[in-house]
Chain A
Amino acid sequence: MNKHFRITLMMLLLLISSLGLFANPTSDGEAVMWNVYNRDSGNAMSSTLTMTLTSAKGAQRVRSIAQYRLDSDGIERKMMFFLTPNDVKNTSFLSISYEDGRGDDQFIYLPALKRVKRIAKDNTNEAFMGSDFTYDDMGTRHPQLDTHTLLGKETLAGTPVVVVQSESKTPSEYPKTISWIVDGQWYGLKKEFYAKDGTLAKTLVIDEVNLIDGIYVIGDMTMTNHQKRTSTRIQMESVDFAVDLDERFFSERQMQIGPRR
C-alpha cells in the first residue's frame, strides 16, 4: 500500500463517517442527552439549599431549605423543609414523581395551619417555588420529549464541552434550548432557553461543580430570566449521598415532624 492509497482511504472513511452524520444528524445529540439523563446522581441524597431570588429592581429574598431525595423503583421522592426565614420555618413540601409518566403527587404542610394539603396540579412547566426555575429545570427532562442536535464542540471556561440544541416535540414555553455539556462527564455548564419568538428568555449558568462520592454535584447555579429581569441563585451545601433514607421518611407524618437534625 503506498502513501497515496492510505490518504485516499482515510479521506473515504472521513467521507463515509460524515455521510453517516448527515444521514442521522441528531444521533450524537441524542446520545449526549441520554448520557446526561443517565448520569449517576446517587439514589439517596440529603443537602441544604440556599435559594436567593432577585427581583427586577434588585430586591432579594433568601431562603434556606433542607432537601432529601430518594430514587427507588422508578419513583423519585423529594422532601423539602424550609429552615429560614423564620416565619416559614418547617413549612414542608413533598413530591413523588413516577418515571412511568403518572402525574406527580405533591403535598404541602403549613406549620401555622397544622395541616397537610395535597396539591392537585400538574406543575411541570410552572415556576419552582416562585423562582426562575421551572420544575422541569430542577429535574432532568426526559430526552424523548425533545429532538436533539449536536451543534459542535468547544471549550467553556477551559473545559471541553459539547453543544447540543434541543427542540421540544410538543408545544412548550421554551421550544428551543441549547446546552453546554461537559464531554465525558455529562453534566451541564450552561443552558440557554429560547422563547417562542426565538429570543433568548433565560440563561442558566453553573458556577461550581463538586465531585462528591464519585458523583458530580452542582454546588452553585444561577438562572437569569431576561424577560422579567429577575434571577434565582441556588447553592447546594452539606451534600450527603450516604444518608440513610427509606420510603417511610417521605410521609405526611414526617412533614409535620420536620427535618432531621
Chain B
Amino acid sequence: MKFFNSLSKRPFLLIVALLLLALLFVTSMAKTATLETNLNEYMPKTHPAFVFSTEAEELFGIGDSILIVLEDPAGIYNASTITKLDQMTQSLLTDFPDIDDVTSLVVADNITSMDGMLEVEPFYTGATDEQALAKLKEQVEANPMMRGRIVSGDGTATLLIVEPSPQANTKELQKQLQQWLETWQGPQTLRIAGRPVIEGSLAELGPKDMAIMFPLVVVTMIILLYVLLRSVRDMVLNMIIVLFGTLTAFGTMTLFNIPIYAVDTMIPVMLIAIGVAYGIHMHNAIHHHMLSDPSITKEELARKALVQMVRPIIMTALTTAIGFVSLMSSEVLPVRYFGLFSAVGVMTEMLLALLLFPATIYLLGKPTYRSKIAANETPPLAQKLHTFTSNHPTAIVIVAFAVLAIGIWGTSRVWIDTSFLANFEEDSAIVQTDLFVNEKFGGSSTLNIILKSDEADRFKDPLLLSRIDELQGALQNDPVVGNTLSLATFIKQMNQAMEEYAPGTYAIPDSSDLISQYLLLYEFSGDPKTLEQVIDYEYSTANITVQLKSDSSAQLKSVLEIVQTFGADFAESGVTVGFAGSGYKAYVFSELLLKGQIISLLLSFIIIFLLLTLLFKNWRVGLAGTVPIAITAVVNFAVMGILNIPLSSATALISSIAVGIGVDYAIHFIEHYTNERLKAKSQTEATLETMGNTGRAILFNAVAVMGGFVILLFSVFPPNRQVGALIVVNMAVSALGTLTILVVLIHALEARGRFLPKQSAQHNKLGVHA
C-alpha cells in the first residue's frame, strides 16, 4: 500500500521507468525473438515414449515425407506422364541438396521370377513405347508394394515420396518445392501433401491470422471500453496496462532466450481478457469515490481508491498467477513456459493497475466522466438482478444444477484430438489434397509399430512373421488403415516371386532357413536399403509401417487398441511392442496435454479453495467461491464437447482462463460484500451496493472482453475461431455465475449465520498487509 502510494506520487519517475523497461523489452524482442515452428520442440524429449520413438526413428530412418501427387485422369501409363515423372524424380534428386532421397515409380526395383529366371530390375527401364508401358502397368498392378502405395489402385495418380534430410529447413524446402511444382503443372495435375506441409502451413497460418485479428480485437475493446467507462483517460490506461503486460511477458521471455512457441499466441489473448479487469475495478472504485464525495481532493481520491482496491486486486492477481504457475506441472515444455510468462504478465498488469490510476490522478488531477449516475443510486440493472436472486433462489440453484448436468454430459463428449488437418477449412487446398491422397493411396499419416526382441535373428522365425502378418491383416480391416508394410510383406512378396506366382504362395513359408535365404538374396539383389526400413541389422527389431487415412489422434487410438490385443501373443514370442513416428508422438503428446490439464485444473481448484478459505477465514465461503468457477470450467468443456471443438494445446489452455477469471470475480464480489456488511449494512443494502459497484465492474469487464474476442469468430483460421468462442462463453458464464449463484450461496450462508467472520477484527488484521 505504502509502496504503491509513494511510487504513484512520482508519476514522472514511473513514466521514465516504464519507458525504459518498454525499450529493454522491445530491443530484446527485436534481437532474439524466434518463432519455434518445429513441433518436435513441443514434445517432452525425456519421456520414455519419445525416447523410444526417437531411437526407432533413427534405427529405421523413419521420418515425415513430403508427398507430391501426379495425377492424370486418363491414366498415368502414357509416354508424356511417365517421362515427366522421370524428369521430376531426377530434378528432385539433383537440384535440391536438402532432399535425401526420392521414391517414385521410376526408381523402384521389381523382383519377379518366371520360368526359372529371377529378375531384379527397375519397373521403368527408360522406354516409353506402347509395349514397355503396357508391361510397366502389368508389373505395377501385380505388385502389392506398388499398387495402392506408389500408384493409385485405379492407375490415375502416382506419388513421389520426398525425404528431406534431417538437417533440412523443411519450411524453406517446402516453399522451394511449391514453386518448383508450378513449373511442372499441366496437363497433369500436381499437388503437394504430407505432414511437413501441414505442420508448416499450420505454424505459419495461426500466428499470421492472429497478427491480423489481434489489432481488430484491440480496436473493438478500445471502443467498448470508451463506451463503458465514459473516459478516454481510463480507456487509455486500461489499454496501456494490458499491452504493457503482454510486452513484459514476451520481453522477459526473450531476455531468457526462450523461443516463442505457437501456443504463446494465446498469451496476449489471456492477458487482455484478465488484465482489463484490474483497470476496470480501479476505475470503478475511483468513480464511486467521486460520486459519493464530489469535493474529494485528488490526494484523498488516489489514496482511498488504493486502500479499497489494493487487497482484492493483489489477491485476484495472485490467484490467477497461481493458476498459471500450476501449468508448470505440465510435461509439455511450451505449456510450462506459457504458464510462467503469463503469470509474469498478470503480475505486471496488477502492479500497473495499482500504480497508473493513482499516478494519473496525481499528475492530471481528478478524472471527469461524461455522464454521471447520481450518488448513492443503485443502477437499475443491479436492482433487477438483486430482486431476481432474492426472489428465485431455488430456481437459480435448479438452473445451476441443470447447467452442471448438461455440462458434465457435454464434457464427456470432449474428444482429445491433435489432428493438424482439422485446423484447416474443409475446402482448403491442403485438406482437399489430403483427402485425395487418402482416397487414392494408403494414407497420408503413418504409425510405426516397433517389435523388439533380445535375440539376434529372432525375426527370421516363420511363426513370428505369421503373427506379424496376422496383425497386419487385423489392422487392414480397420477402415482408417490404408496399407501396412513389414518384413512379413517383403517375405510374402519374395516367396510369391520365387515360387513363380503359384496359387497360395503369397504367404510366409514354413522354413526359417528359406526365410534366411530369401533375406540373403534380398541383400544381394542390391536393394538392401528398402529392407533396412523394416528390420534392423541383427534381425532383432522390426518395424511395421501402418499408413493411416487420418491424422486424428482419436482415430490413432483405435488402431493402437487393435495392436494391443496382439500384445500377449508377441510377449509369448519374447517380443515387446512399442510405437514410433510423429503421429504417435502427437498422440502421446495429446494424452499428456489432457492429463496435465486435468491435474493443473484440479490443482488450481484446491489452491483456490484454500486461498479463499484463508482470505475470508471461512471454508464455507471458500467453497461457495469455487462454485461459479466450477460451473464455468464445466461449461467450457461442455461447449467444446457440443461444438466438437477438440482439446488441443490452445483450447486446453483456455480452460485455465475460466478459472483465472472466475476466481477474480468471486474474490471481488465476496470482498466488497463483506466490507459492506462489516460497515453494518443490512444484507439487502450490502447486496445492492456490491451489485451496483463490483457487479458493474464485473459486467463491464465481461462485456469489454467478450466484445473484443467476438471478433475472433470471424477469423479464417478455425482454431482461432474456437479460441474466440470459448473466451466469450467463459466470460459470460463467469460473470453470470458470480452475480447469480454466488449471491444465492452467500445469502444461504447468511441465513445460517455462517458467512461473516466471527470476529470482525480478524478481517482488518488481514486487510492491510499489502
Contact = CB atoms under 8 A, between A and B. Distances in A.
B119 interface: yes
25 contacts: A61-B537, A87-B457, A87-B460, A87-B516, A87-B517, A88-B516, A88-B517, A88-B520, A108-B118, A110-B521, A112-B516, A113-B517, A116-B116, A117-B113, A117-B118, A119-B119, A119-B120, A120-B120, A120-B121, A121-B119, A121-B121, A121-B525, A121-B526, A130-B520, A130-B524
A123 B521 contact: no
A76 interface: no
A129 B517 CA distance: 12
A112 B524 contact: no
Contact of B513 (A55, A88, A130): A88
Interface size class of B (residues with CB under 8 A): 20 to 34
A59 interface: yes
Contacts of B119: 119-121
B514 interface: yes
Given A57-B537, A59-B537, A108-B118, A87 B523 contact: no
Contacts of A88: 513, 516-517, 520
Contacts of A111: 513, 517
Interface in B490-543: 498, 509, 511-514, 516-518, 520-521, 523-526, 528, 536-538
Interface in A211-240: none
A121 B528 contact: no
A112 B117 contact: no
Contacts of B521: 108, 110
B498 A113 contact: yes
Interface of B: 113, 116-121, 457, 460, 498, 509, 511-514, 516-518, 520-521, 523-526, 528, 536-538
A115 interface: yes
Nearest to B511: A112
Q: What 3 A-B pairs have minimum CB-CB distances, sorted nearest first?
A: A130-B523, A112-B514, A126-B526
B225 to A, nearest CB: 63
Interface string A30-61: 00000000000000000000000001010101
B146 to A, nearest CB: 18
A110 B118 contact: no
A130 B513 CA distance: 18
Contacts of A126: 526
Interface string A92-117: 01000000000000001011110111
Nearest to A85: B516
Contact of A115 (B457, B498, B538): B498
Contacts of A91: 517, 520
A119 B517 contact: no
Nearest to B97: A197
A107 B441 CA distance: 36
A118 B520 CA distance: 16
Interface in A102-156: 108, 110-113, 115-121, 123, 126-127, 129-130
Contacts of B121: 120-121
Interface residues of A, number: 27
Contacts of B523: 129-130
Given A119-B118, A120-B118, A129 B524 contact: yes
Contact of B116 (A61, A115, A121): A115
Given A119-B118, A121-B121, A129-B524, A110 B538 contact: no
Contacts of B118: 108, 117-120
Given A117-B116, A127-B526, 4 more contacts: A116-B116, A117-B118, A117-B498, A121-B119
Given A88-B513, A117-B117, A110 B537 contact: no
Nearest to B519: A88
Contacts of B526: 121, 123, 126-127
Contacts of B514: 110, 112-113
B700 to A, nearest CB: 65
Given A61-B537, A115-B498, A110 B116 contact: no
Q: Which of B120, B512, B536, B537 has the most CB of A within 10 A?
A: B537
A108 B537 CA distance: 23
B513 A112 contact: yes
B498 A110 contact: yes
A117 B116 CA distance: 5
B513 A118 contact: no
Contacts of A117: 113, 116-118, 498
Q: Which of A61, A82, A85, A130 gathers the greatest number of chain B CB atoms within 10 Å?
A: A130
Interface in A171-215: none
A117 B521 CA distance: 11
B117 A127 contact: no
Contacts of B537: 55, 57, 59, 61
Given A87-B460, A88-B520, A110-B518, A121 B120 contact: yes
Nearest to A57: B537
